[in-house]
Structure formats: C-alpha cells, structure tokens
Structure 1
Amino acid sequence: MSITTTDSIIRLVIALILGAIIGYERQAQNKAAGLRTHILVCIGSCLCMILSINIAMDHFMLYGYRNSDPERIAAQVISGVGFLGAGTILANQKARNVRGLTTAAGLWAVAAIGLVTGAGYLGTAIAGTVLIFVVLTVFVRLDLRLHDKHRVQYAVHMEMKNSVGQIRRLLDLLKEEHLKLESFHVLSEEDAPAAELELVLSAVHRLDDDEILAALMSLRGVRKAECSEIKTMKPSHTSGRPANT
C-alpha cells in the first residue's frame, strides 16, 4: 500500500525536526554545514524514500510489476550525500590539515535518518537522532581528553621573514616533522619586514625542545625561535590534613 499524503507530511515534519536537532549542534559549533543544510538533507532523503516506496507500490498495484526495488533511490541518496560531505572537507583545505570529517559524517548520518523516517520506522529514526546528538555533544569531551592525553604541546615564539610563501613553507616543514599546528597568533604588523608569531604545536610523542628549534631554524627566512613544552596542570586531590604513610 502506498504512503498516503497525510502520512508523508507527518514523516517530512518529523524529518525536519530530527535534522534540525543535529543541525543546531553543528551551527552552534560554527561548522560549514549548519542548521539549514542538515534540515534540507534530512527532508530531501525522506522525500526520496517516500517516492521510492510509492513508485514501487504503484507499479505493483497497477501493473503487477514485482521487480520494482524501493532501495535503489535510497542507495543513490547515500552516494550523493558523499559529495556534500566532501565539500565540507575541501572547504578547509587552506588550513593544510584535514577538518570537517565529523560534519561530513554527520551529514551522511542525517541522510540515513531521513531515509529511515521516510520508510516509516519513526522510533528507529528518533533513537538514531538521539545517539548522533550524544556523540556530537558528549563524546567531544572524551575526544578532547584523548587528544590531550596522547599529544604533547609546545609553545613556540618565532620571527621570520615576512614574504610571500613563507607561511606555506612553515606549514610544509611542520608536516614533514609530524608536528600539528594547534593555533597561532601574529604579533607583528601586516606590512612589517619581519613576522613575529606565537604558535602552539603538538606531537604524538614527546620531542626535545632543541629538536623542534633545529627544525624551525633550518627553514629559510627564520631569524629567531624559542620553544618550550606546555605542561598540563592536573587537578590536586590533596586535603588540608597530612596523608597517612
């Protein structure tokens, strides 16, 4: 039996709400794909699923055609959303590192939610939305803890020639040395002959400060560099009473 217009509207409204829940979180994090993008993906995939089911049922009821496959359009939706996900990643290519993977995965998951909603499995769609929202909000804290636990951070103060391509050469050097640029701040004027920078770098394994300095000073145009490891402060659990020995 085909999906009625009333049922279709109900499913589309639910898809809008579920897509908005995920999109709101991405918008709050200032991501490339925000509220409207996630809503459109969820509603569009829901429409495709409803259309696919109705076409298959209509062909069966009118013509007795049993080979209509409602999964074909759904499969193309999953493939098509991959282009949107790639766009959120490529939009950050100037940063010279991979960003946007979580948003791309979120778009793909939201498309799946739309398909499930369109197919009529509303309970499953709601449960999937809740789990995705938990992953994006709660698990980010665990992600940050794992990042801080397994990476060592270094504060770098450096001066280098302010010329075209110098930043690109610096980023290429950091990539070769397996150092990740966490943040940077420019202290000098834009048209100054020398660029003064404050960087925060991180590495998977602890490196000697001299190793990092030697790598930075080997770069053409670097005039001065200072490096120190950032010590993470662990919370103290001691009380006013002396510990028992």
Structure 2
Amino acid sequence: MSFNFLHDFIDPMQSMSVATATLRLLSALILGGVIGWEREVNSRAAGLRTHMLISLASATFAIVAMELTSFEGDPDMAMRIDPLTLIEAVTSGVAFLAAGSIVINGANVRGVTTGASMWLCGAIGLCCGVGDVKLAGLLTLLAMLVLWLIQRLVTPVAIRVRGDDPEGRG
C-alpha cells in the first residue's frame, strides 16, 4: 500500500511520459530563450531569464492541464475540467507581468514591445506544452523577424524622418 502511494507521488503523470514532458519543457525553454536573448542584447528590462521562465511556466501549465483531463477519477463524480480556462489564466497572468514592464513617463512610453514579447512567450510555452512545437517554432521565427528585422529596417527610416540621430552622427 505505501509503495503504491510513493509511486503515485513521484510519478503522477498518466497520459504522457516523462521524456515527452521533458522535451516539451526544453522546447519551451529554448524558444522562449531565443526571444529573451534578443530582448537581453538590446538591454530591455525583461530579458533572457524572464522570457525563458514565462515560456517554461506556460508549458508546465499546459502539461498539467492535459494530465488533469486524462485523470481517471471516481466514475460517480462529475469532473469539470476545461482546458480553455488554462489558456485564459496563462494569458491574463502573463499580461499582468507584461503590463509591469511598461513604463510611462509623460508622453514617453517604453516597454510595450517587451511586454508583447513576454505575452507571446506565454503562447509559445502553451504550444510547446500541448505538443505543437512546430507552431511554437513558427511563432518564434515570426517574433524574431518582427523584433530584429523590422527594427533594422524601420529605425534608420524613423531617424531620417524625425531628423534626430541618437548616435551623434549629425
């Protein structure tokens, strides 16, 4: 009896192997880290670790939700498990963190892109957690296009239009 309890305690996963869960969590860490790296090298408040942790937590919540939906409980008890509630919870939780990265100082607003990238890492983590690593990879690629490529294309044009030069090249 005590052996069964110990086994259930250390190995509660019913529908997914530990290897599969590990791969999904590592995928979330890596893909969240790609976006976090870009934020880190551009000296943003939320960088590598933050984005990795958001993606990892989101993937974990997705895995736990999937495990709960496969949980075999008492057949006489009605189980009310709604995976969409998980998406709402992750979305609102990450949005709360993302809002904290936005700083408003008069007419100057900073951190909106970082907040959006944090929110996106939540979605990437959810994708990894449910096993849609292809979609998570595509999201990461598109995010990097927005964060890196668009920045390289738009900033020089914006400097010319505004007439200012932050690097003092006059």
Which structure has greater helix proportion? 2
1:113-192 equivalent positions in 2, closer than 5 A: 113-148=124-159, 151-153=161-163
- Which consecutive segments of 4 or more residues in structure 1 shift more than 3 A? 63-67, 93-96
Which structure has more RCO (C-alpha within 8 Å, separation ≥ 6)?
Answer: 2
TM-align CA RMSD: 2.4
Q: Gaps (5+ residues) in structure 1?
A: 155-181, 184-199, 201-229, 232-245
C-alpha distance in structure 1 between counterparts of 2:152 and 2:67, whole Å: 43
Q: Is 2:50 the partner of 1:40?
A: no
Deviation at 1:96, TM superposition (A): 5.1
C-alpha distance in structure 1 between counterparts of 2:83 and 2:19, whole Å: 20
Q: Gaps (5+ residues) in structure 2?
A: 1-13
1:137-184 per-position Cα deviation (integer Å, ceiling 9, x unaligned): 1111222144235x3336xxxxxxxxxxxxxxxxxxxxxxxxxxx86x
SS at match of 2:163: strand
C-alpha distance in structure 2 between counterparts of 1:95 and 1:141, whole Å: 27
SS at match of 2:124: helix
C-alpha distance in structure 2 between counterparts of 1:22 and 1:13, whole Å: 15
TM-score (norm 1): 0.57
Cα 1:22–1:6, aligned 2, differ >3 Å: closer, same or farther?
same
Structure whose alpha-carbon radius of gyration is higher = 1
TM-score (norm 2): 0.80
Cα 1:122–1:152, aligned 2, differ >3 Å: closer, same or farther?
closer
2:110 aligned partner, one-letter code: R
Deviation at 1:95, TM superposition (A): 7.0
Aligned pairs, number: 154
Q: Is 2:36 the partner of 1:23?
A: yes
1:1-245 equivalent positions in 2, closer than 5 A: 2-58=15-71, 61-64=72-75, 65=78, 67-90=80-103, 93-94=104-105, 97-148=108-159, 151-153=161-163
- Give me the identity figure in percent: 35
1:57 aligned partner, one-letter code: S
SS at match of 2:73: helix
1:51 aligned partner, one-letter code: V
C-alpha distance in structure 2 between counterparts of 1:76 and 1:85, whole Å: 14
Work out whether residues 33 and 88 of structure 1, in 8 Å CA contact, stay in contact via their aligned partners in 2: yes
2:163 aligned partner, one-letter code: Q
1:193 match: none
C-alpha distance in structure 2 between counterparts of 1:3 and 1:70, whole Å: 16
C-alpha distance in structure 2 between counterparts of 1:63 and 1:128, whole Å: 39
SS at match of 1:32: coil
C-alpha distance in structure 2 between counterparts of 1:78 and 1:71, whole Å: 11
1:217 match: none
